[in-house]
Structure 1
Amino acid sequence: MTTLAPASAKPTPSAPTAPTLEWVNKLVSFDTTSRNSNRPMIQAMADELAARGLSPVVLPNPEGTKANLFATIPARDGSVTGGIMLAGHTDVVPVDGQDWASEPFSPEIREGKLYGRGTTDMKAFSGAVLGVLPEFLSRPLLEPLHLAWTYDEEVGCHGAVALVRELDAWGIRPRLCFVGEPTSMRAVSAHKSSQLYRVTVSGLAAHSSMTPAGVNAIEYAARSIAFIRSLADDYRISGPFDESFVVPYTTANVGVVSGGAAVNTVAEKCEFEFEFRTIPCDDPKSFISRIEDQIAILRAEMQLENAAADICMTPLGAVPGLSPQGTRAALELAQALTGNDAEETVVYATEAGIFQRAGIDAVVCGPGSMEQGHTANEYIELTQIAACEEFLHNLAVHLSTTERNEQR
């Protein structure tokens, strides 16, 4: 039986403290759109951690253009094993084509809301962690606190995958993990997976008056797209279903298509990108194997027309779902620290599923709402940042409360 330190009974402040707000503003001012480097922001955070006496580790990607950041506040006995990890990503989605009322990377407060790209998704959480950092450092922790920031979450969670490999090599496996994606500070125990693929079709160009001499890449791409839609319809009609989700079944979407040169030319090239999102009880391998079988059938038909024709599928990213099964210790602690016994699901994917696969009990809990994420005039309410600070304060108390009786 695990006894958890209760959440603070005092009212949550209506506004964040000055140090946290300063850090959130600073982090939002970095344009860390996924196509850009996050290194300047990572360095600013690493410098702060080092100035506070920690030993941050910057972990570049193979190209050196981006990096993860990891640091540990040891337990009072010096231990760095086990413990709790606070995890966030540093990249944000583009603002291209969006109509903003203010500069996206110049944060601005209006009517109790902080506007700017990444305010909700998810730099407010990271700013709160840095703002509350002195309190964690001032307390004798019973177990270590790990701080992790990653790159490329928005384009396939590549940074989290690399981070897990590093932690495994170091022999560090946090006991629990809180991923601070926007959930309005309610505990999320499950989310769907996200699988991204590109299909490339190589046909044979010919004049449109001589269609039998060519192989139309657009037409074969269209047949592939129609098949993917038929699979999505099957899941929508026949399930399986999980009614805890707003969209209670596995979904698919073709989001990008390009191909062809002229209307009077048989298209030589066409490619498209699609994604599908599975509920936790649904195996992504089953979905993708059905598409692979269809691709093989279409390839054979194309090569009957011309042996050089081809169609292939390339994975772009795979983010595993977060399952509500497991020890549920992270969920119970999040509920205790927020003072809210809610257990929710979300349809978007996070890095929590990756950490769970690595043997770390994970839950999603952070300030703001994803309804504001990725939108023009993205904002977060100041009360949400304050609530996140309160959550972190309660975590600091919990980590240094000697009366705890936990099963490890």
Structure 2
Amino acid sequence: MDKALAILDKLISFPTVSRDGNLELIRYAASLLEGAGIEARLFPGEGGDRASLFATVGPKGTGGVVLSGHTDVVPVEGQAWSSDPFRMAERDSRFFGRGAADMKGFIACAIESFLAAARADLARPLHLALSYDEEIGCVGVRPMLLELAGAGIRPEWVLIGEPTGMQVATGHKGKTGIRAACCGQAAHSALAPTGLNAIHLASDLLTEIRAIQADIERIGARDADYDVPFTTLHAGVIKGGTALNIVPDACEMLFEIRNIAEDDPKEILDRLFESTGAIVSKARKQFPAADIRLDIFNEYPGLNADPGGAVTQKAIGLSGQSSRIKVAFGTEGGLFESSLGTTAVVCGPGSMEQGHKPDEFVSRDQLQQCRAMLARLTGAMAA
């Protein structure tokens, strides 16, 4: 286990917060692979401070398995850590550091396993995919997947190593992020009725969002495998106004839809477009410039692998677990499926209950279980 821990220690030392890039970590990973004679292909992002990585060992061609992980992490500002978040610390058989669970613990195990696989006689290709900017909407993996699809890469399945306590997860909800730009008409607050308050327009839209959510909770589709078994709508940011005595003419609201497989987010958006049309039409009778513009700024598909399918059963057997779950958080799995025509499942060490929090950790036992799973995988792929 020393090699995996040494890699994890180094990975944590790179402060790969999404806003700051991940290039130094990717260069480190590439150097490890190249030292073992493995060619690593980099896919640079805009700005030159971040990149994805893709590498293959074993025979060329279709099929095989992808080990996939994202290298970016969330910020640590404002969090009360007991130790330096970018220096791995061990306490009570737990390894602490930003990204230890989400998801550098898996990446360390995957790199260790990948290096070992390079020395084996594999019958099918084994791929390693490391991405950037997953934490801000699964952004960085997309250009890489586009090029891989164009090159004819068609793996049999993809193992996304997000933290699941080493249980196999076959599903998560899709996500659509929407920006609502509300346009009113400014006025002095002493003459408020002569203006159109953009914050009030946003409030009217929010009322519609909450009404749709109530309908979904009351009569919508259900998937009991989720902690929250229905599609959710959530407003997370509202910005508007400059001073109390000014009727604001602009307000921006960010909200999201997290949908189960049975619900189509486009149908929900269609209902919202209809609602905003009614709100704007009413306001324009007095204020012709009134408007509410809805723009999707990020979206990724859900994951809904066949729980009884061959890939799921294979993953369960390799994991050493006997059950499957669905997870509340999103992953890049749906993008792999839609881009490469493959099947993805999620299984990795640690718990998302530790992710994004101070004193994030992954346990020694979880890392051992992950290493054992990957050893079984490469063993099964041997010629």
Q: TM-score, normalised by structure 1?
A: 0.90
2:156 pairs with 1:175 = yes
Give yes or no for contact 1:156–1:316 (8 Å, CA) kept in 2.
no
In structure 2, C-alpha distance between the alignment counterparts of 1:91 and 1:134, rounded to whole Å = 22
Identical-residue share of aligned pairs (%): 38
Is this contact kept in 2: 1:177–1:360, CA < 8 A? yes
Q: Cα distance, 1:189 vs. partner?
A: 0.8
The aligned length equals: 382
| 1:318 and 2:299 correspond | yes
Aligned to 1:8: none
**1:214-253 alignment, distance < 5 Å:** 214-253=195-234
CA distance in structure 2 between the partners assigned to 1:211 and 1:197 by the alignment:
29
- Note the alpha carbon deviations across 1:165-184, whole angstroms, 9 max, x for none: 11111111111100000011
Matched, 1:35 2:19: yes
Is 1:61 matched up with 2:38?
no
**Which residue of 179, 185, 198 maps to 1:204?**
185
Matched, 1:71 2:55: yes
Question: CA–CA distance in 1 between the matches of 2:327 and 2:307?
Answer: 18
Structure 1 residue 382 and structure 2 residue 358: aligned?
no
- Whether the 8 Å contact between 2:170 and 2:307 is mirrored in structure 1 is no
2:307–2:324 Cα contact (<8 Å) kept: no
Q: Partner of 2:30 in structure 1?
A: 46
1:292 and 1:67 map into 2 onto residues whose CA distance is 37
Q: Where do residues 312-351 of structure 1 align in structure 2 (5 Å cutoff)?
A: 312-325=293-306, 328-351=309-332
CA distance in 1, matches of 2:310, 2:74: 32
1:31-51 Cα distance to aligned partner (Å, 9 max, x none): 111111111111111121111
Pick from 49, 66, 72: which aligns with 1:91?
72
User: 1:311, 1:123 → 2: CA distance?
Assistant: 41
Q: Distance in 2 between matches of 1:327 and 1:49?
A: 35
Matched, 1:306 2:287: yes
Give me the whole-angstrom Cα distance separating, in 2, the residues matched to 1:191 and 1:335.
Answer: 17
More displaced, 351-360 or 363-372?
351-360
The answer as to 2:358 corresponding to 1:396 is: no
Change (3 A) 1:281 1:325: farther
Please tell me whether residue 363 in structure 1 is matched to residue 345 in structure 2.
yes
Partner of 1:99, secondary structure, is coil
Distance 1:315 1:326 in 2: 31
Note the C-alpha offset of 1:131. Answer: 1.9
Q: What one-letter code is carried by the residue in structure 1 that aligns with 2:359?
A: N
What is the alpha-carbon distance in structure 2 between the residues aligned to residue 381 and residue 271 of structure 1?
42
Question: Structure 1 stretch 214-223 or stretch 325-334: which is displaced more?
Answer: 325-334
One-letter amino acid of the structure 2 residue matched with residue 286 of structure 1: E
Query: What's the CA shift string for 1:25-77, capped at 9, x where partnerless?
Result: 111111111111111111111121111111111101244332111111132xx
Counterparts of 1:159 and 1:183 in 2: how far apart (Å)?
22
Aligned to 1:13: none
| Alignment pair present for 1:268 and 2:252 | no
Give the Cα separation in 2 of the matches to 1:142 and 1:119. 32
2:267 to 286, 296, 314: 286
State the 1:328 CA deviation: 2.5
**Closer/same/farther in 2, CA of residues 212 and 22 from structure 1, 3 Å limit:** same
- Measured in 1, the distance between the counterparts of 2:360 and 2:286 equals 51
TM-score, normalised relative to structure 2: 0.96
Q: Secondary structure at the match of 2:63?
A: coil
Q: Which among 88, 107, 132 is matched to residue 107 of structure 1?
A: 88
